[in-house]
A and B are shown apart, each in its own frame.
Chain A
Amino acid sequence: MREPISYVQTDTTPSRRSTWSLRLGLLVADRGALAGLLIIACIALVALLAPWIAVDPTEQSITQAFAPPSMTHWFGTDEFGRDVLSRVIYGTRPALYVGILSVLVSILLGMPLGILAGYRGGWIDTAVSGFVDIMLSFPSLLLALMVVALVGSSMGVLVFAIGIAHVPIFIRLARSSTLIIRELDYVTASRSFGGRQFHILLRHIFPNAVGPLIVMATLSIAGAIREEAALSFLGLGIQPPEPSWGNLIRDGVTSILDAPWLALIPGLCLTLAVLAFNLLGDSVRDILDPRDLSASALKKGK
């Protein structure tokens, strides 16, 4: 059995709102978080505006094949003369779609299981924890690969496969948060007032497990984006001609001698996106850490 993680907020702050607005202020003041947020906002904007700022990413023009970057094709063209910029722009969509939805899947499956295991204990806890320990010793890429190998690949399968692969992390997180929170006075108080179990779980345990959840979710999105790209790179994710950063890199590697930009540019976008979510997640973790909160607030003169 593992030690419960310690960064759950255990003190009961008299005024919730002010703490959260303080944190929001810190988030904007933190350069790492701000940079992460800005990059994510840019990527999201590009994904939304794709039809207006890019040409059809599947439109071929054989005479234009392997054109190096120029004014008409900023990032050059690929072996079929398709505009690489447009393909990279449309590549933001599967990255964000799979990245965010798969983490939602893991949260929806993992949180209830983890909270239940932590709150009820007993054989449920033993079974769930054992399962999590075994799952966690396998790389999530291998777990996702297994699902894809079984049912073939499509956008929906990717969301599901990567989501399943991340479930154990969220079970463990929710379980350890719950173990700490359920012993706190206000939960005991609620129980002594005759609070129903479901009520306690929903109103007291869940909201207090949200902080670490946000951190883990942000970091998991980074991992999920990387895994979608990895699966597509292996030819087991998004299938061409639909563009995804992963399959663009795959195509780029085969023509790395003639047109190195084909692999370089989508890889840069991928790294930037993963970096942005990691930056944001790391910063949010520092900000949510209650031990650090007062210190960093003092430092900033608040």
Chain B
Amino acid sequence: MTGFLLRRFFTLIVILFSVPTIVFFVMRLVPADPALVVLGDQASAEAIAAFRQKAGLDQPLFTQYSEFMLDLMHGDLGNSLITGKSISEQIWSVFPDTLALALTALVVGAAVGIPIGVITAVKRNGWIDFSGRVFALLGFSFPSFYLGVLLLLVFSVWLGWFPVIHSMRGDSVGEYLQKLVLPGLSLGLVQAAYVTRLTRSTMIEALSQDYVRTAFAKGLTPYEVFFKHALRNVLVIVITAMGVYTGTILGGAILTETVFNRPGLGKLLIGAIAQRDYNLIQSGLIVFALIIVFVNLLVDLSYGLLDPRVKYA
């Protein structure tokens, strides 16, 4: 266990160090000069020089890099090139919104996907299985942003159950939760398709194992066998896959936030790309990457808790 933790910790340090490094140098490959992008083509030479000095762009590359890394270790991501505002503050102010959306989507995905996956595996090859597989195929094919548009059209525009505009400063808790429903559904239902397929195939495999036959043989009801024995083993695999799902959910959040005009990390990143605010783009990418790294770490560590057979040798 200790050996595993040490090794995992070492890889974590390497990743934590290399992700910002890669992003920093890749961003320096940008063919455009940030000064010209921000100030426009007509900017005077003095203005450009002043801007470059203020943004630290006149320093040698290595100095820029070491200052960037030092600031980063203090949690300082620098300032926006366009607005001059602190990037860390901007990111922290929208982080809870993206977190809430991602968690809702995870819950919807699991709450819809796991039961459908189990039922289709148990009632294999019948009409239930067929409809479950159609659901999964549709989920795979429906772009989450289009599903968002459909939900918006039906529930906000036609039925009027939810507001059309989802920006939400100064909302009460109730309003906040209300504005989480449609975005969470559009992201979560697509996710449910992946969960359904994974649950179905692992459940089918679990049902062919000896311990399931033994459980039946000793007279347990199908309910007990499916839910107490088989499902527990399926859950381990599904939860493990959550690490991968975090990536797709974060990718999907960029789109969902745009559809519903919701504040969030994705919206911030897209805005930064549109304005070519290279500092903000750089920080956004690093934050996205670090979240994914962090979730994968949590998933790795939770293996042993979920499945006692796993030894961190």
Contact = CB atoms under 8 A, between A and B. Distances in A.
Interface of A: 134, 137-142, 145-146, 148-151, 222, 226, 229-230, 233-236, 249, 252-253, 256-257, 260, 263-264, 267, 270-271, 274-275, 278-279, 282
Interface size class of B (residues with CB under 8 A): 35 or more
Contact of A233 (B164, B251, B255): B255
Most chain-B Cβ atoms within 10 A of its Cβ — which of A137, A140, A256, A274?
Answer: A137
A234 B230 CA distance: 42
B157 interface: yes
A260 to B, nearest CB: 5
B141 A274 contact: yes
Interface in B230-279: 243-244, 247-248, 250-252, 254-255, 258-259, 269-270, 273-274
Contact of A138 (B247, B258, B274): B247
A149 B281 contact: yes
B149 A252 contact: yes
Interface stretch (B25-33, B85-93, B214-222): B25-33
A146 B285 contact: yes
B243 to A, nearest CB: 7
Given A271-B143, A278-B141, A137 B255 contact: no
Interface of A is mostly: helix
Interface in B113-160: 137-138, 140-143, 145-146, 149-150, 152-153, 157
B259 A253 contact: yes
Contacts of A263: 149, 153
B258 to A, nearest CB: 6
A234 B270 contact: yes
A270 B292 contact: no
Given A141-B254, A145-B254, A234-B254, A274 B247 contact: no
A226 B255 CA distance: 12
B292 A138 contact: yes
A257 B137 contact: no
Given A146-B26, A234-B258, 5 more contacts: A141-B255, A150-B27, A229-B143, A235-B274, A236-B273
Given A145-B273, A275-B137, A137 B142 contact: no
A215 B140 CA distance: 15
14 contacts: A138-B288, A141-B255, A145-B254, A146-B26, A149-B273, A150-B27, A233-B258, A234-B270, A249-B145, A256-B152, A271-B143, A271-B146, A274-B140, A275-B138
Contacts of B243: 137
Given A274-B141, A278-B140, A256 B27 contact: no
Contacts of B273: 145, 148-149, 236
Q: Which 10 A-B pairs have the closest CB atoms?
A: A139-B251, A275-B141, A267-B146, A141-B251, A274-B141, A139-B247, A149-B273, A226-B143, A263-B149, A278-B141
B48 interface: no
A256 B157 contact: yes
A229 B137 CA distance: 19
A271 B142 contact: yes
Interface string B10-26: 00000100000000001
A289 to B, nearest CB: 13
A267 B141 CA distance: 11
A40 B285 CA distance: 35
Contact of B143 (A148, A230, A282): A230
B91 to A, nearest CB: 16
Nearest to B32: A152
B164 A257 contact: yes
A252 B250 CA distance: 24
A64 to B, nearest CB: 23
A217 to B, nearest CB: 16
Contacts of A222: 140-141
B38 interface: no
Given A150-B29, A234-B254, A282 B247 contact: no
Contact of A249 (B30, B149, B289): B149
A145 B273 CA distance: 9
A139 B149 contact: no
Interface in B258-313: 258-259, 269-270, 273-274, 281, 285, 288-289, 292-293, 296
Contact of A234 (B140, B248, B255, B289): B255
B296 A137 contact: yes
Nearest to A264: B153
Contacts of A253: 149, 152, 259
A127 to B, nearest CB: 13
A256 B15 CA distance: 44
Contact of B292 (A137, A149, A275): A137
A243 B138 CA distance: 25
Contacts of B285: 142, 146
